[in-house]
Structure 1
């Protein structure tokens, strides 16, 4: 009897551990979401209120965005067109008709040949990279890396070449170029690439689980109920505020700051 009980217990724990491992692997490699319960501590800045001593945005700050038609990107574009930025250029595969503004310029591009659109980077003060896909959407690990790293690298290089002052990058909690998992590994590699570009200012947003407001993925429906999360609208608001804050307060050159859940809520004023 005890032997049967012990065997059943082993089976139970084996199934439990396997299930947990499967869920985490699914989140990393397919969903592009990771659960963040502890705030990152590397190079976190103290958020400061605006002052207009260094930069007057009414003079004409302009920005360029990739990923503007995605879940976070849509909210970011709305934030930017409602802000003091005078021009918002969004590089897209297909125009998004749901967002209309005189400030917004949607440019349909071939992301495999982003270098053909150098003119769109000229005169921009700020760049945002909120591009994101998954291994499942890309079709393979190789294609995922090609899309994520390839496009981000070219976007970063063209931004720097054009004299863009600051870059604001969306990755994920756990991003690490040495990670065992595909998603955080590639995101970590993108972070390192942008650090090497030497922008005047680089902010890296590493949110935890993203609440897109659309429960069309079963894993999201389960996790959103039990795990800490960040709404994509809150994330977009924080990115816009941080970009304005950098222009207005002018930190030291080559500043790199990393934000995770706690700081994202603080910047957005949603503590």
Structure 2
């Protein structure tokens, strides 16, 4: 089995991104994982991991990072509270994701894996699903050989600092653990590369969308 898939990740400091990094590092199919960050995580120690501190407002200055990569993962996400306003939230999620996508395409990355959310729709009247839909559309137009979109419903972040309302929602509504989502992303990506020589296998459909049930079943 060949272990020469080279990945680049943005959004690795969030709950899903952290789990994804661990999944990629623990897999013998991935030889190198480049994580684009604002600040390095000193708790992550692995010879396969390269953490690169960048200026997110000027991602175009780091084109070299996107060369010689096979797969890309986008787990970017924030909240209006953290961002300070809906305008800033849109800037962080849409503009950064779009810049990341375009640089990946220019660098000849074959496959993109994007996390959005259930209900994502660029034509929605509501801010959040519209934003997620616009991010999806931005990556669609970049025409990757393969684009896999993950639209999970309620995500269980598996943290002790969850707000009370989060605990209530997780208890009464169907939820998906971020670790399950991360595992499914890793598995879906591995399936796109030949086990013998890690060559990319062109899909019959360039765009795939996975919802909760598909994500869960893939991670089994």
Q: Show CA shifts across 1:166-197 (max 9, x none).
A: 00000000000111221111110010111111
More helix by share: 1
Q: Secondary structure at the match of 1:186?
A: helix
Q: CA RMSD in A?
A: 1.3
Count of residues in Structure 1 that have an aligned counterpart in Structure 2: 213
Match of 1:5 in 2: none
User: Which protein, 1 or 2, shows the higher relative CO under an 8 Å CA cutoff with sep ≥ 6?
Assistant: 1
Q: What's the TM-score, normalizing by structure 1?
A: 0.76
Q: What's the TM-score, normalizing by structure 2?
A: 0.93
Contact conserved, 1:198 with 1:254, CA < 8 A, in 2?
no
Q: Secondary structure at the match of 2:209?
A: strand
| Counterparts of 1:166 and 1:123, CA distance in 2 | 13
| Counterparts of 1:136 and 1:182, CA distance in 2 | 14
| Counterparts of 2:183 and 2:68, CA distance in 1 | 24
Match of 1:91 in 2: 36
| Counterparts of 1:137 and 1:268, CA distance in 2 | 30
Q: Secondary structure at the match of 2:113?
A: strand
| Counterparts of 1:57 and 1:111, CA distance in 2 | 33
Gaps spanning 5+ residues in structure 1: where? 1-55
Match of 2:197 in 1: none
Contact conserved, 1:67 with 1:73, CA < 8 A, in 2?
yes
Q: Secondary structure at the match of 1:197?
A: coil
Find runs of 4+ consecutive structure 1 residues off by over 4 angstroms. none
Superposed, which structure 2 residues align to 1:120-269 within 5 Å?
Answer: 120-214=65-159, 215-248=161-194, 250-252=201-203, 255-269=206-220
| Counterparts of 2:82 and 2:125, CA distance in 1 | 20
From 99, 106, 111, the equivalent of 2:51 is 106
Larger radius of gyration: 1
| Counterparts of 2:38 and 2:203, CA distance in 1 | 35
